[in-house]
């Protein structure tokens, strides 16, 4: 009996070792981090910083892949409906994960059809015009809009936060949402270039996506959505200072999501990775350099935050009669 007990114990120990090895094997190949927008935008920049810094804590490489289309829906669907083994994750953005689901109930996924691994950063939104624009201040731009000038604005696509941001702006100004011409692009980077090149009059975009052209003098910032002035834009008034505090609701954010049925061991690994990044000086410095605010949240807090964002955008979309059902 002692002999068989030893065999059973040895077998149990072997199974435990095998299980531990299986867990330790994740990731067994490079992890693909899907960006649902084009190169150069806020989501892409945030993803590439994670792709550079996360391997130290993950124990494997991270490949950043841009899968733009349909306002972030194409890339998000690729992850939501793809292999749930944890080797394909999503660089989530407020547009693709909150505004689009709030405005369109026919897309292939819902806002909560993912494994929330953690929010990683938030970033203020900035209204900006081209360097040669005749609009020198937000007041100039607002007066032009309210007087009926047929201005154009760029966005990363229909239903993205860049689109919703301007709709919130127009609602706050008491202007019909059809008063301006919407020029959608495939991603925030292309939308920014659209204003720099003169193909759109203005943009309401993440500071992280605009900071480069602003610092190089290609764009002029007119307003930030922050409650206090942004240190990198000390001469740019806040929404409240400009008399439009309602615009403070417009804020960008990035997170890392997995497919809904992602293995727990893979999820736990990434939760730990993000926790490590939250104190990583290199990641923090790189994120702040983009004008973003490092803000790693737990999966639970992330879900609460995203749900509040989703509900806010659904409320605005319902008010404007823009929900597709």
Q: What is the pLDDT of residues 82-113, one digit of tens each?
A: 999 999 999 999 989 998 999 999 999 999 99
DSSP 83-95: --SSSEEEEEEHI
Average pLDDT over all residues of the chain: 91
d(CA 250, CA 95): 11
State the average pLDDT over residues 229-252.
93
Domain at 9-123+252-319, CATH class: alpha beta
Q: What is the pLDDT of residues 114-149, one digit of tens each?
A: 999 999 999 899 999 999 999 999 999 999 999 999
Query: Phi and psi at residue 237, in whole multiples of 5°?
Result: -70, 155
Q: Which residue has the tokens 């731009």?
A: 141
Q: What is the pLDDT of residues 260-308, one digit of tens each?
A: 999 999 999 999 999 999 999 999 999 998 888 899 999 999 999 999 8
d(CA 96, CA 92): 7
| pTM, entire model | 0.77
**124-249: what fold?**
D-Maltodextrin-Binding Protein; domain 2 (3.40.190)
d(CA 77, CA 265): 23
Residue 158's pLDDT is what? Answer: 81
Domain assignments of the chain as residue spans, ordered by start: 9-123+252-319, 124-249
């Amino acid at each position: 009996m002692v002999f068989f007990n030893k065999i059973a114990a040895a077998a149990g120990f072997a199974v435990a070792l095998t299980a531990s090895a299986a867990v330790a094997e994740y990731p067994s190949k490079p992890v693909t981090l899907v960006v649902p927008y084009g190169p150069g935008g806020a989501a892409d920049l945030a993803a590439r910083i994670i792709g550079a810094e996360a391997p130290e804590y993950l124990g494997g490489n991270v490949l950043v892949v841009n899968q733009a289309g349909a306002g972030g829906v194409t890339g998000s669907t690729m992850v939501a409906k793809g292999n749930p083994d944890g080797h394909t994750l999503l660089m989530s953005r407020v547009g693709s994960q909150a505004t689009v689901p709030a405005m369109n109930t026919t897309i292939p996924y819902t806002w909560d059809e993912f494994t929330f691994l953690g929010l990683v950063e938030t970033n203020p939104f900035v209204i900006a015009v081209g360097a040669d624009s005749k609009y020198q201040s937000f007041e100039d731009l607002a007066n032009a809009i309210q007087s009926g000038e047929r201005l154009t604005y760029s966005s990363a696509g229909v239903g993205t936060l860049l689109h919703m941001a301007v709709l919130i702006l127009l609602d706050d100004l008491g202007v019909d949402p059809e008063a301006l011409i919407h020029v959608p692009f495939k991603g925030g980077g292309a939308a920014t270039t659209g204003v720099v090149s003169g193909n759109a009059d203005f943009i309401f975009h993440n500071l992280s996506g605009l900071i480069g052209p602003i610092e190089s003098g290609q764009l002029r910032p007119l307003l930030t959505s922050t409650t206090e002035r942004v240190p990198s834009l000390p001469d740019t008034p806040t929404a409240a200072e400009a008399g439009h505090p309602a615009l403070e609701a417009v804020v960008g954010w990035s997170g890392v999501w997995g497919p809904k049925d992602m293995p727990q061991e893979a999820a736990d690994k990434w939760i730990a990775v993000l926790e490590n990044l939250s104190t990583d000086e290199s990641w923090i410095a790189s994120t702040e350099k983009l004008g973003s605010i490092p803000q790693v949240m737990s999966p639970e807090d992330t879900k609460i935050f995203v749900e509040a964002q989703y509900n806010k955008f659904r409320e605005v979309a319902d008010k404007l009669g823009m929900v597709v059902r």
